Amino acid sequence: MTTPAIEAPLLPAPTESMGKFYFSYINSRRSRFVIGLLAVIFVNLTQVTMPKLMQWIINVFEGAPLPALLQGSTRLGSFRTVFFLLLTTMALQAAGRRLWRLYLAQETPYAGAALRLSSWHRASLIPLERLRAKYSGATLISLGTSDVNSARQLYGWSIVPCSDAIFLTIFSLIGMYTIDPWFTLLAIGSFIWVPLAAYGLAQKEARYFADAQKALALLNEACARAMGTVRLQKLSGSELFWRKGLTEAATAYRDFRAKVIPIGVLLALLIGIAPLLILCVLFGWGIHQVQSGALTVGGFVALQSYSAVLQGPIGNIAPMISDVQKGRASLRRIMELLSERPAAMLENLSTDSYNKQTLGTTPIPNGSTLPMTRIGAPILEIKNLSFAYEGAKSYALQNINISLSKGDKLGVSGRIGSGKSTLLLLNAGLLEGYEGQISLDGIDIKSTPWDKLRTKVGFAPQQPFIFASSVADNLRLDANFDDEELWRWLRVVGLDQEIEQLPNNLNAVLGESGVNLSGGQRQRLALARVLIRRPSLILIDDALSAVDAITEKYVISELTRELNDVTLIWATHRPSSLKLCDHSLVLSV
């Protein structure tokens, strides 16, 4: 049986405090949280009712008085009444536990899905420069796994011990007070210090946990770099250098985690000492009261049961505070990501429009919708384009003007560092902060909805990403192309025969980043992924740099035949790759 996928909404970007962000989500699903919390409180009531019922059962056998409502005509009748109430309470308790698990506990995976989806969505909207500088792949993985797993507990499972710590403790003390007020005061004095001590330790643990999470992200990043450069390490004999880096990252993470262990030991001691003190009070004071006749045996058993019930919330105080502090530290890291400003041209992909699945149009002030094409306009028009990377002292591109009509092919060449890749990234909408204007079909790309831009512009980078999935999945992604279409474009890029030789051909599973493919195969697979979508503008960033001359000649010949009506910009430093182009642009450093 497969587990159904959880459909979760995107969370809005945090604009205020963590508390308001947290309760805004709670409020959005308040009916489930209210039902779940009421079920937890109901279970707490049944838990404190059972010791009282046990007291009355023992009182029946002792001949001690019972409440008038439970008093039967005979001792057996009284026993049957109280015993029936005990069984009923146990059944209601089981039903209540089932209810809060269905409503409250299920919010944990749901909230986790919402946090993870929101994090990935926000990361996809962050400007490329910002994303590269602050959020590496390893950092995002750490946020989407470890941090989400800690933060999601705040929305479900952590609420249960918090509720127990409040309501179960209060109800138990009330039950104890009805039996022996002095014992109740002594019991309070034996554990009241536990929450205060646990809170101080948990705050320190949370700080170490936050540092450990950052160290874990750095360790993940170091592992990813080391795994991705295995061939280079073997060729250059630099294994010891990479091992040293990994060892330093692992040692830093270990040291931060090691700081948490002593705090965990102290918290465990707190958990064990408080119940022992309550038991000492119980047997010291309770036995004296029984011997003096001030307390019945049934009352003593009830106090013992209440003491056992109290051990639950008292024992959970330390780990509860620890989990909450860890969850808050992780939620703070997630909120930092969700607060990142999206790229200007991606702001139309708001949370509300995503949740309502209305990405097809972009509203403007007068209530109409933006046109997607201006009749008679060039496919691509660039006016006075200049761009400088953040912190750079000079422009990467300056005063670029280009106009391309349908079917035009522009070859862009120049030395390394002249801005060829930057020009393509700007046209693909992946960089912002430029001067001038870039128009697609007569519409400024800043005003073009992101989903529309992605259907019109295809980008084949020099170093493509290949997913750890089948060949077919890497070509289809979120589309539904049939096998015949897949084979057609594989033939265009000269990859069909090589795929046929793989086990299961189209269904052959590729390794992470396509490790079981050569560099040229990865480039051509990514190129086919772009071509099969038939965009009106194709941007190719030296996407045949890793293939041999014969294969390059074949692919260019096929592209000339297939892309007759497609506008194309091909950036490369190999003159042979520009045979397809009828216009040229040479960039200088």
Kindly report, residue by residue over 16-46, the tens digit of the pLDDT: 788 888 888 888 888 999 999 999 999 999 9
Span 558-585, pLDDT tens digits: 888 888 888 999 998 888 878 888 888 8
Alpha carbon distance 326, 203 (integer Å):
9
The residue whose two tokens read 């708001």 is 350
Query: Is pLDDT at 362 greater than 70 in this prediction?
Result: no
Rama region for 342: left / alpha / beta (φ>0; ψ in -120 to 50; rest): beta
Least confident of 176-190, 307-321, 487-501: 307-321
Q: How high is the pLDDT of residue 548?
A: 87
Tracing tokens 């039903």 back to the chain, one arrives at 95
- Ranges in the chain annotated CATH 3.40.50.300: 407-431+445-587
Evaluate the CA torsion angle 509, 510, 511, 516 in order and state its sign.
positive
In Å, how far are 6, 20, 110, 358 from 3, measured between CA atoms? 9, 32, 13, 28
- Tell me the mean pLDDT in the region 256-280: 78
Q: Where do the CATH 1.20.1560.10 domains begin and end in the chain?
A: 18-342
Q: Quick check: helix, strand or coil at residue 96? A: helix
| pLDDT tops 50 at residue 155 | yes
Report strand pairing: 380-387 vs 397-404: antiparallel
Which DSSP category does 568 fall into? E
**Residue 155: what residue type?**
Y
Look-up of token digits 């060729």: 235
User: Is 70 exceeded by the pLDDT of residue 201?
Assistant: yes
pLDDT band at 344 (very low <50, low <70, confident <90, very high): low
pLDDT at 489: 92
Which H/E stretch holds residue 439?
strand 435-440
Cα of first residue to Cα of last residue in the chain, in angstroms, is 60
162 has pLDDT over 70: yes
For the stretch 93-152, pLDDT in tens is: 999 999 999 998 888 988 988 898 888 888 888 877 777 778 877 778 878 888 899 899
pLDDT for 184 beyond 50: yes
Residue from 199, 235, 215 nearest 322 by CA: 199
Give the per-residue pLDDT at 356. 44
The pairing of strands 380-387 and 567-571 is: unpaired
pLDDT at 490: 92
Task: List the structure tokens of 216.
Answer: 């874990």
pLDDT at 309 over 50: yes
Instruction: Kindly report the pTM of this predicted structure.
Output: 0.65
d(CA 187, CA 281): 7
301 pLDDT exceeds 80? yes
Q: Which CATH number fits domain 18-342: 3.40.50.360, 2.30.110.10, 3.40.190.10, 1.20.1560.10?
A: 1.20.1560.10
Q: What class does CATH assign to 407-431+445-587?
A: alpha beta
Kindly tell me if the per-residue pLDDT of 166 is higher than 90. no
359 pLDDT higher than 60: no
pLDDT > 90? residue 311? no
Position 503 scores a pLDDT of 85
pLDDT confidence of residue 272: 73
pLDDT single digits (tens) 454-486: 888 999 988 888 888 888 998 988 888 899 999
pLDDT of residue 200: 76
pLDDT at 368 over 50: no
What's the longest Cα–Cα distance across the chain?
A: 108
Grade residue 7 by pLDDT with cuts at 50, 70 and 90. low
Give the pLDDT confidence score for residue 279 in this predicted structure.
81
Phi and psi dihedrals of 35, rounded to 5?
A: -60, -45
% of the chain beyond a pLDDT of 90 = 17
Show the DSSP H helices in 126-238 as ranges: 128-134, 137-142, 148-151, 159-163, 169-179, 181-191, 193-228, 230-236
* Section 390-416 average pLDDT: 89
Considering only 57-61, 341-345, 478-482, which range has the smallest mean pLDDT? Answer: 341-345
Q: Please give the structure tokens belonging to residue 507.
A: 């269904």
On average, the pLDDT of the chain sits at 82
pLDDT value at residue 376: 52
Rounded distance between C-alpha atoms, residue 423 and residue 395, angstroms = 12
What pLDDT sits at residue 1? 36
Percentages helix, strand, coil for the chain (3-state, rounded to 5) are 65, 10, 25
